[in-house]
């Protein structure tokens, strides 16, 4: 069962502006990533469902967060069907993210009052997601779709839409400024924040430092 209210989850995502996404089959590494993100000031993590027994790692990570980092909001990504969504919600997922839109997943999440952020690539998909109750819609693959210019084009006639681009978001200020100036609600960031070379070398301090820097940059470019 989710520990955090759906509205609180959305508000936390939009307040910080950053939703890191990450996967590892190693529970110890996953715990250290959570600790680094938390130390860097981030309160949200999307753990992606991308490997065998990923749900087992996720379940243990939820327990770890509840004890060691009680303010960390842990959700799941790469969820394509309602059965997978139900599995992760049963393990404590506070939100569900997907690369595509699935109405049955939306309904499953709504029944449990868990936020669902499906990947959408057209205005029609975004509209359908909103009809299904999605408060924040993942724009994916964001860079391929036209980047910040696409966001501006969508929000011009639909200013109520909240978009979270994923794919093509980087930690540098010009990139973040372009997205937030265009009007995104928050951004998803994976390997450019939680870098594979840092994971291999065990440099979790670098992840902490970059997380802090990215959050500060987001607040700067929003002003």
State the DSSP string of 114-178.
Answer: -EEE-EE-SHHHHHHHHHTT-SSEEETTHHHHTHHHHHHHHHTT-TT--EEEBSS--SSHHHHHH
1 assigned to some structural domain:
no
**Cβ neighbours of residue 40 under 8 Å, at least 6 residues apart?**
207, 208, 209, 210, 211, 212, 215
Known catalytic residue: 138?
A: yes
- Catalytic residue among 46, 60, 113, 152, which? 46
Mean pLDDT of the chain: 97
CATH of the domain at 18: 3.20.20.70
Encoded tokens for 157: 């006639």
Tokens of 84: 């997978």
Percent of the chain with pLDDT over 90: 99
pTM of the model: 0.97
The verdict on residue 222 lying in a domain is no
pLDDT of residue 210: 98
> How many domains does the chain contain in total?
1
Catalytic residue among 67, 125, 131, 138: 138
Domain span at residue 139? Answer: 6-216
Q: Is residue 65 part of a domain?
A: yes
Beta-ladder partners of 163: 137
Span 174-185, average pLDDT: 98
Structural domain includes residue 223: no
Spatial contact of 136 and 164, defined as CB atoms under 8 Å apart: yes
Structural domain includes residue 92: yes
Tell me if 221 is assigned to some domain.
no
């Amino acid at each position: 069962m989710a520990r955090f209210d759906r509205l609180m989850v959305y508000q936390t995502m939009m307040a910080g502006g950053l939703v890191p996404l990450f996967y590892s089959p190693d529970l110890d590494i996953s715990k250290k990533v959570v600790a680094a993100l938390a130390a860097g000031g981030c309160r949200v993590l999307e753990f992606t469902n991308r490997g065998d027994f990923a749900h087992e790692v996720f379940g243990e990570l939820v327990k770890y967060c509840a004890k060691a980092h009680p303010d960390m909001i842990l959700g799941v990504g790469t969820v394509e069907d309602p059965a997978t969504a139900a599995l992760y919600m049963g393990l404590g997922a506070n939100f569900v993210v997907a690369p595509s839109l699935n109405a049955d997943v939306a309904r499953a999440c709504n029944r449990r009052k868990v936020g669902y952020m499906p990947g959408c690539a057209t205005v029609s998909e975004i509209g359908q997601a909103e009809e299904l109750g999605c408060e924040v819609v993942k724009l994916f693959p964001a860079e391929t779709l036209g980047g910040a210019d696409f966001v501006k084009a969508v929000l011009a006639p639909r200013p109520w839409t909240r978009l979270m681009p994923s794919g093509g978001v980087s930690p540098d200020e010009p990139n973040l400024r372009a997205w937030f100036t265009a009007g995104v609600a928050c951004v998803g960031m994976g390997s450019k924040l939680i870098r594979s070379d840092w994971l291999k070398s065990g440099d979790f301090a670098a992840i902490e430092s970059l997380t802090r820097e990215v959050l500060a940059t987001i607040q700067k470019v929003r002003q």
